[in-house]
A and B are shown apart, each in its own frame.
Chain A
C-alpha cells in the first residue's frame, strides 16, 4: 500500500479511538446549525406575533369609525368578541378583547374622551406582544383623530407634541433573516478548522512529544509522504466535520418556514454541489496551516493553544460581515475564508458564482496548502524540530 495511505489510515484509526476528541468534534459540528435554527425561529416568532393580530371586539356597532380604521391597518382582523370578555380572557379562550363603550359614538362626536377597554392578562407571556400592538394602534388612532380636531379648531396639532419619538429600525425582518444566512459559511469554515485540529496537532507536535517521531523518521520513506499522509487524515476529518455541519444545517433550513419571513429557500442539489465546490478547497488549506503551526510546538497542549487562536481567524470575516454587511466583490473570491463567505452567501441568495471565481479560489487554496505542506516537510527534516525539546 502507498505509504501516504498507510500513514493516513493509521492517523484516522488513532484519532477515531479518542472518544473525547470525537465527541467534541461531533458536538462542535452541530453547534452552528442549531444556532442558525434558533436565530431563525426567534425572528419568525417575533415577526408572527407583531404582524397578524385578530382583535375580538365587543360593541363594534358603537364605534364604526374606530373599527373601520382598525380594519384598514395591515395584519389586523376584526372578529366578534365573546359575551363575557373578562372570563374569556381569564380562561385563556381569548388572548385579549377590545370592549367599546355604549356611549362611544356620543362622546366621540362631542370630542369628549370616548371609552374603550382592553381586557388582557398580563401573566400571559405569549399574548404580550399582541396586546402591545393593539395598544399602539389605539394610541395611533387617538393621536391622529386628536390632530384632526385641533386642525379643525385652527390650532396646529404640533403644539401638543412635546416629544417627537421615532423608533428607527433599519432592518426589516427579511433583512435580519437574510443576515443569518451569513453565519452559514462561517460555521462551515469553522468546522473545517475544528475538524482537522486533533489530527493536525497530534500527528505533529504530539508525535514529537511522545518521542515516536524519531523512529518514524528512520523508516526510509520520503518525508513529504509522511507529511502528506498526516495531512490527508486531518483534511479528511475536517471535511467530514464540515459535511456534518452542512447536512444538519440543510435539515434545519428545510424544517423552518423561511417563506413566512419573506425568504425563498434556494437550496437544491445544485446549490449543495456549488457550496461544496466553494468550501472544500478551504478544507485543504486549514489542516495544512494547522500542521505547519503545530510543527513549532513542543507539546500537544502547546499546539492546541496555538490552534485555538487560529480558529478565531475564520470567524473574523464572519463577524465583520455580520456587523458591516460587505458587498461581495469579485476580488474576494480567491482569498481563503473571505472567498468562501462571499461565494456561499451568493449561492444561498440564489446566485451562481462564476466558474472563474470557483476555479480561482480552488487554485489559490491548492497553492497555499501545497506551500504550507512543503514548509511543514522542511520543518520535519530540520534537526532542531526532530530533536529539539
Chain B
C-alpha cells in the first residue's frame, strides 16, 4: 500500500512536480497516466526514495520513506525508467546479484529465480549473457531482477515502452498475476489503452499536478466525455500530447 501526499520537487527554477497525491491499495493496479514531462517519473523517484521531495511525504505500508528509506525500499520492487543491464553477465547472474544484495542466497534464491523464469518465460535465455538481448528480453530480465525479493509493492515506470506485442502481453500478464497475488502495483504510462486495459484506478497527472483520480468510469463521468481518450485530452489540458 502506497500513500503519496502533496509531493513537490523543483530542479533549479523548474518545478517538475508541483502537487502530486495518490493512494495505491493492495490487490489493485494503479496507473499514473500523463503526457511526457508531466512529472510521472519524478513522482515515482520520490516514492522509491532516490529523490528527496521538496515537500510532502510518502508512506509505503505505513513506513515513511523520508525517515526510514531502507525499510521502505525493502518492501518495494522497482523497474525504473532506464533499467540498464551488465552486458557480460548472464540473465541468471543479474537476478542472483540482486537476490544476494537483498540478503537471499542458496537453494531458496535459486528456486525463486526459477519461479520468475517460469512466469516470464526466460527458459531459453536465462544462462546467456545479456549482450545482444532484444529490448523485450532485457525488460524481462530487469523485471525478474526487480521482483526477486517478492516485494509487496511494485513500481513500474513505463514498463511497456518500446516493447513489441508479445513482450507487452507478457508484461500485462505479469501485472495481472501480481494483482491476483494481492500486491500493490503502480505503473506509469503515457499510453491510454495500456492504462485502461489494466488499471483499477487511474491517476491523471499533468503539469506536475494530479488533475483527476478514479476508475475509468469516474473519469468519464467527471469530464462528461464518452471515450477515455477524449476524457484524457480534456483533463491533461491543451498541452497534453498523449494518445
Contacts and interface: CB of A to CB of B under 8 A. Distances in A.
Contact of B70 (A13, A211, A214, A220): A220
Interface in A201-219: 207, 210-219
Size bracket of the A interface: 20 to 34
Given A215-B142, A218-B78, A383-B50, A10 B97 contact: yes
B146 interface: yes
Interface string B101-112: 110010000000
A6 B101 contact: yes
A17 interface: yes
Nearest to A16: B88
Nearest to A386: B50
A220 B86 CA distance: 20
Nearest to B98: A219
B187 interface: no
A169 interface: no
A221 B101 contact: yes
A214 B85 contact: no
B48 interface: yes
B50 A211 contact: no
B73 A383 contact: no
A211 B49 contact: no
Contact of A214 (B50, B69, B100): B50
Given A212-B84, A220-B69, A220-B71, A1 B105 contact: yes
Interface string B37-60: 000000001001111100000000
B69 A215 contact: no
Interface residues of B, number: 34
Given A14-B89, A220-B71, A211 B82 contact: yes
Nearest to B86: A14
B7 interface: no
Contacts of B81: 214
A18 interface: yes
Chain A binding surface SS class: helix
B76 interface: yes
B214 interface: no
B85 A212 contact: yes
Between B51, B78, B83, B100, the greatest number of chain A beta carbons within 10 A of the residue's beta carbon is seen for: B100
Contacts of A214: 50, 80-84
A18 B88 contact: yes
Nearest to B146: A215
A219 B102 contact: yes
Nearest to B97: A10
Interface in A368-389: 383, 386-387
Interface in B135-161: 142, 145-146
B49 A210 contact: no
A64 interface: no
A218 B80 contact: yes
A1 B100 contact: yes
Contacts of B102: 219-220
A383 B52 CA distance: 8
Contact of B89 (A13, A217, A220): A13
B93 interface: yes
A218 B44 CA distance: 12
Nearest to A229: B101
A3 interface: yes
A6 B98 CA distance: 9
B234 interface: no
Contacts of A17: 88-89, 129
Nearest to B103: A3
A211 B208 CA distance: 24
Between B51, B80, B93, B142, the greatest number of chain A beta carbons within 10 A of the residue's beta carbon is seen for: B80
Contacts of A213: 84
A338 B144 CA distance: 49
A3 B101 contact: yes
Nearest to A18: B88
A212 B85 CA distance: 6
Nearest to A221: B101
B221 interface: no
Contact of B100 (A6, A210, A222, A383): A6
Contacts of B45: 387
Between B80, B84, B98, the greatest number of chain A beta carbons within 10 A of the residue's beta carbon is seen for: B84
B50 A217 contact: yes
A3 B100 CA distance: 7
Between B82, B83, B129, the greatest number of chain A beta carbons within 10 A of the residue's beta carbon is seen for: B82
B87 to A, nearest CB: 8
Interface of A: 1, 3, 6-7, 10, 13-14, 17-18, 207, 210-222, 383, 386-387
Given A14-B89, A17-B89, A387-B50, 20 more contacts: A3-B101, A6-B101, A14-B86, A17-B129, A210-B84, A210-B86, A211-B82, A212-B86, A214-B81, A214-B82, A214-B83, A215-B79, A218-B76, A218-B78, A219-B98, A219-B102, A220-B70, A220-B71, A383-B50, A386-B50
The 10 A-B pairs of least Cβ separation, nearest first, read A211-B84, A210-B84, A211-B82, A212-B84, A220-B70, A220-B73, A17-B88, A6-B100, A214-B80, A220-B74
